[in-house]
Structure 1
Amino acid sequence: MTFLEFVLLLLVLYYVIYVVLWIVLDCNVALWYKSRFGVSLSTMRGQVVWITGASSGIGRALAVSLARHGVRLVLSARRQEQLEQVQDECLQVARGLLAQKDVLILPMDMLQLDKHQSALYSVLNHFERLDVLVNNAGRSQRANWTDIEIQVDRELFELDVFAVVHLSRLVVRYFLEQNGGRGHIAATSSIAGFSPVPFSATYCAAKHALNAYLMALKTELRKLDVTIFAPGPIATDFLLEAFTGAQGGKVGQSTANQKRLTAERCGELFAVALANKMDLTWCGLFPVNLMAYCARNATLTKILGQYMTEKTLNKIREGKL
């Protein structure tokens, strides 16, 4: 075997192994590697992390994962009673690493932009610092492209994009004034933010827009850490509140008995991405992970499009395949 043949063999083996990992892992390879060999979550102990949409689902799971390692938390959402339950859970798993004052409940409605600044002041008055903002609040959608009312487009963008951008700008200004531009902005995006799926046109567009906003932010402020975490289908109750095509409509659908990654696993992976200050990561059960990789490659995207019908893609995102 010549040297060139040996190099080609190694290259082929490398890509074969990589494809196998795409299939068997529940997240991208870099995130899996960091979860095994990267920075430990314990390095975040004592930091202050503000999580919006923390009353359930991914936000709750992320809060619990961070609390387990002594990370101080600000929990925000509209539902105070659920936030109190999450606070209790965080204190239990912390096993003495956190006191009640270390898990602040801060009820807020993300759509009330005029209250974002006072909410930030509340965080700073309580902890005297903020290290990480995690923009997790948002809603999904299920609707035919042609049936979506323009007001639904506006309302979804207001919540999933503009409210996130508004709060993030306030926090980034704080980072610039107090820390010389050092800080960490994170957001729960979606694989739909770079791999569009059927029957969620507005949601896909909103996540694409959010990704672009955050990548532009990172381009402008190099000292700032920006994390875009993009889950695939996750076992949460998010479809209960998801937009439809009609204004005021809600899907009201349960995700029980569907093929979805657990919220707990998603929260663990999100926490790893934060601790390791990763820029873009994703998670999801096969074939979601493989699809995400294909979506990042233009050639593979075209190939995938030829073999994946609308019905097949929809079954995958609904956990039926």
Structure 2
Amino acid sequence: MTFLELLFILIIGYYFIYLILWLILDCNVELWYNTYFGLPISSMRGQVVWVTGASSGIGRALVLILAKYGVRLVISARRENLLELLKKDCLEQANGLLSEDDILVMPMDVLNISQHEAYFDRVIKYFGRLDVLVNNAGRSQRASWEEIKVQVDRDLFELDVFSVVNLSRIAVRYFLQLRNVRGHIVTTSSIAGLCPVPFSATYCAAKSAINAYLNSLRLEQSGIDVSIFCPGPIATDFLQEAFTAVPEEMYGKSTKGQKRMSAERCAILFATTIANKLELSWCGLFPVNFLANATRYPGLAKIIFKFMGKSTMNKIREGKL
């Protein structure tokens, strides 16, 4: 066997193993590896982490996981009553690792951009520091491309893009003032930002946009860690408040009975991404994870998506396959 023949076999074997992993894992290979061999979530104990959109869904599940390992928390969302209930649950999960003073309940509407500086100052005044900002607040969308009103595009971008960018810029300016400390910006994006899906044009565009913003930040500020976490369909009430084609209208449908990853599993993977400061991670049940991996190879993705068609892709997206 010649060297070139051996090299060819090794390359084929490498991609074959990766293909198998695409089929059996519920996340990308780097994230899967770090869940077993990377830094544990417990390595974040004592850090101060601010999570927006914390009162429900992925945000709530993430906060509970972080509390379990003694991470000090700032929890923000619009509904203060839900945040207070979450704080109680966090203290139970912490099992003595956190005290009442280790969790700051800070109600906020991320769309109120003029108040972002005041919110940020309150966090620093309370804890004296911030280690990680997790931009998790946001909404999805269900609508036909040609029916979407421009105001919906504007409203969704205000929430999923511009509010994230503004708060992150405040955090970045703060981190740049620190010496010998690396700040960490984390954002909940979506597989829809990597792999466009039907009937969510504005949402796909918004998630693609926030990915581009954060990738640019990573290039410009190498001293700050930037993580983009892209979940696929997750078993939460996320669709209840999803945008449609019409301004101020909510989709209002449940995800019960659909094939979706649990919020708890998603939160573990999310927390692992944060602990290991992974640049880009994604998760989702088969075939979502397979499709997300395929998007890293445009030629392959084009063939797969053309073969599947929008109907099949929509069924996958809605947890019906």
TM-score interval, smaller chain: over 0.9
Distance in 1, matches of 2:102 and 2:56, equals: 19
Q: What's the counterpart of residue 308 of structure 2?
A: 308
Provide, for residues 203-247 of structure 1, a one-character-per-residue CA deviation record: whole Å limited to 9, x for no partner. 000000000000000000001000000000000101000000001
How many Å apart are 1:6 and its aligned residue? 3.1
**Paired residues of 1:172 and 1:183 also in contact (CA < 8 A):** yes
Residue 160, structure 1, aligned to residue 160, structure 2: yes
Q: What's the counterpart of residue 56 of structure 2?
A: 56
How many Å apart are 1:124 and its aligned residue? 0.7
Q: What's the counterpart of residue 228 of structure 2?
A: 228
- Aligned runs of 1:1-321 on 2, under 5 Å? 1-179=1-179, 182-321=182-321
How many Å apart are 1:4 and its aligned residue? 3.4
Distance in 2, matches of 1:201 and 1:15, equals: 32
Tell me which amino acid in the other structure corresponds to 1:44.
Answer: M
**Paired residues of 1:143 and 1:245 also in contact (CA < 8 A):** yes
Give the TM-score of the pair, scaled to structure 1.
Answer: 0.98
**Paired residues of 1:75 and 1:106 also in contact (CA < 8 A):** yes
How many Å apart are 1:181 and its aligned residue? 7.3
**Paired residues of 1:172 and 1:181 also in contact (CA < 8 A):** no
Tell me which amino acid in the other structure corresponds to 1:317.
Answer: R
Provide, for residues 84-124 of structure 1, a one-character-per-residue CA deviation record: whole Å limited to 9, x for no partner. 12111111111100001101100000000111111111111
Number of residue pairs aligned between Structure 1 and Structure 2: 321
Provide, for residues 43-85 of structure 1, a one-character-per-residue CA deviation record: whole Å limited to 9, x for no partner. 1110000000000110011111111111000000001111112
How many Å apart are 1:11 and its aligned residue? 2.2
Helix, strand or coil: the match of 2:92?
helix
Distance in 2, matches of 1:290 and 1:138, equals: 25
Provide, for residues 165-217 of structure 1, a one-character-per-residue CA deviation record: whole Å limited to 9, x for no partner. 00000111111123467200000000110110000000000000000000000
Helix, strand or coil: the match of 2:178?
helix
Q: CA 1:179–1:2 in structure 2 vs 1: closer, same or farther (change >3 Å)?
A: same
Helix, strand or coil: the match of 1:309?
helix
Distance in 2, matches of 1:181 and 1:155, equals: 35
How many Å apart are 1:9 and its aligned residue? 2.3
Provide, for residues 120-156 of structure 1, a one-character-per-residue CA deviation record: whole Å limited to 9, x for no partner. 1111111000000000000000000011000000000
**Paired residues of 1:148 and 1:244 also in contact (CA < 8 A):** yes
Helix, strand or coil: the match of 1:303?
helix
Helix, strand or coil: the match of 2:88?
helix
Give the TM-score of the pair, scaled to structure 2.
Answer: 0.98
Helix, strand or coil: the match of 2:210?
helix
Give aligned-pair identity as a percent. 60
Distance in 2, matches of 1:114 and 1:139, equals: 21
Tell me which amino acid in the other structure corresponds to 2:178.
Answer: Q
Distance in 2, matches of 1:301 and 1:180, equals: 42
How many Å apart are 1:15 and its aligned residue? 1.3
Q: Identify unmatched segments of 5+ residues in structure 1.
A: none
Distance in 1, matches of 2:75 and 2:149, equals: 33
Distance in 1, matches of 2:51 and 2:142, equals: 25
**Paired residues of 1:235 and 1:261 also in contact (CA < 8 A):** yes
TM-align CA RMSD = 1.1
Distance in 2, matches of 1:176 and 1:5, equals: 51
Distance in 2, matches of 1:294 and 1:179, equals: 40
Helix, strand or coil: the match of 1:98?
coil
**Paired residues of 1:214 and 1:226 also in contact (CA < 8 A):** yes
Helix, strand or coil: the match of 2:49?
strand
